Amino acid sequence: MTTPDGGRKRKYVKRKTYEETRKAWLELHAKVQGGETVASNVPKLADFLAYWLREVVEPNLAPATYARYETFARLYLIPGLGHRRLDKLTVKHVREWLNTLRHTCQCCALGKDASRRNPRCCALGECCQAILAARTIKDVRDTLRAALGIAITEEIIAKNVAGAVRLPTPRKPKRSWWTVEEARRFLESARQVHDPLFVAYVLILVLGLRRGEALGLTWDDVDLDAREVTISWQLQRVGRQLHHRETKTPGSAAVLPIPDVCVMALKERAEQQAADRGAVGDVWSDNDLVITTKYGTPYEPRNFNRHFHTACKRANVRPIKVHDTRRTCASLLVALDVHPRVAMQILRHSKITVTMDIYSEAPSEATRNALRRLGDSLDG
């Protein structure tokens, strides 16, 4: 036979009975006669996953993607299927394992409660039934499918058995977002207490920036004279490292026009940062980021989440996730009297009809006036 590296090698088959052995030989012989390359040394799934993560995923994909794949492989794939050789892995194996995984308490399987100083459930014989969500099950299957796809490319196997396993489509979680009135109350509350993250809240709510995009914004990307901001960087923590890297996709990068309220918030932030720099002197860490701590260091994403939820309680508004504020962005642009074409560019819609559908939601005149007063207060 011809091996994947182009060499010639004799391959043997071994089974329990003569009939099974001859059948396996005929199948192998048919592959060779058809010109198909056959791997001589097929690795086990655990070994291949380690190779795939090291040589394929880590050098070529985002750090967060690598961390996600590595977690799924370490916690679920390797313990469940890692002992099987790639060419012996079947659709039935994958389906049965996924069905088992769907009903397995992960607190028991991973020994989470047993590792606690004071066990409170599974280690005491009271299973907490911490089963995986349908979305996680699908993500685990997709991780295996991605790895086996590379195995096919490298001619180790001929079929992606994970791709043949169908799973029910997980329901999208119900999202909630603020009304324009709630967003206004939140911004006014943060403004009144001189919240150091006020500019981040404005950028997230008015421009629809993601958390990482707001925390990764640099002053080089801000042009206050042209009233434009370039979104090209993001700040992410992956494991023990903080990454200041390009946005996830080219479509995420954009040059956005900024309304007056953003211009004023950015000017105020520049003044505040200059005061912080003067107060700490040589301790200041100069990294050109717009949003920093009082010492100039990057703002931790998780700390931002905590600060955001504290600000929600202070403003007496519904607590929502930071990412869910993006939906409020469109409504705020309406209330700020931003032209639909400009809003289309900010929201990154491909068609003006999508933007106009959102613009049909007209806020009250009282809300408009309150937002104007907020802008006037920023203007001094």
Residue 327: CATH number of its domain: 1.10.443.10
Residue 322 belongs to a domain: yes
Residue 32 belongs to a domain: yes
Res 352: pLDDT: 61
Q: What angle do CA 277, 221, 373 make, to 5 degrees?
A: 75
Residues 223 and 369 in one domain: yes
Residue 174 belongs to a domain: no
Residues 140 and 7 in one domain: no
How many structural domains compose the chain?
3
Res 306: pLDDT: 94
Res 371: pLDDT: 54
Residue 125 belongs to a domain: yes
Residues 117 and 191 in one domain: no
Residues 18 and 49 in one domain: no
Residues 335 and 286 in one domain: yes
**Final residue of a domain: which of 108, 129, 164?**
164
Res 266: pLDDT: 93
Res 380: pLDDT: 44
Residues 36 and 62 in one domain: no
Res 160: pLDDT: 92
Q: From CA 63, how far away is CA 125, in angstroms rounded? A: 38
Residues 193 and 86 in one domain: no
Residue 332 belongs to a domain: yes
CATH number at residue 64: 1.10.150.130
Residues 125 and 253 in one domain: no
**Final residue of a domain: which of 164, 195, 216?**
164
In order along its 380 residues, the chain shows pLDDT tens digits of 766 566 777 778 888 999 999 998 898 888 777 766 566 678 899 999 999 999 999 999 888 899 999 999 999 999 999 999 998 899 999 999 999 999 999 998 888 888 888 888 888 888 898 899 999 999 999 999 999 999 998 878 888 999 999 988 877 777 778 887 888 889 989 988 989 999 999 998 888 888 998 999 999 999 999 888 888 888 888 878 888 888 766 655 678 888 888 888 999 999 999 999 999 888 898 888 999 999 999 999 999 999 999 999 999 999 988 888 877 777 777 766 777 677 676 666 666 666 666 554 555 555 556 555 555 554 54
Residues 128 and 244 in one domain: no
Residue 172 belongs to a domain: no
Residues 5 and 53 in one domain: no
Q: Is 71 left (phi over 0), alpha (psi -120 to 50) or beta?
A: alpha
Residues 16 and 2 in one domain: yes
Residues 47 and 35 in one domain: no
Domain extent at residue 308: 180-378
Res 298: pLDDT: 92
Residue 175 belongs to a domain: no
Do 285 and 297 contact (CB within 8 A), yes or no? yes
**Final residue of a domain: which of 96, 131, 164?**
164
Residue 124 belongs to a domain: yes
Res 354: pLDDT: 61
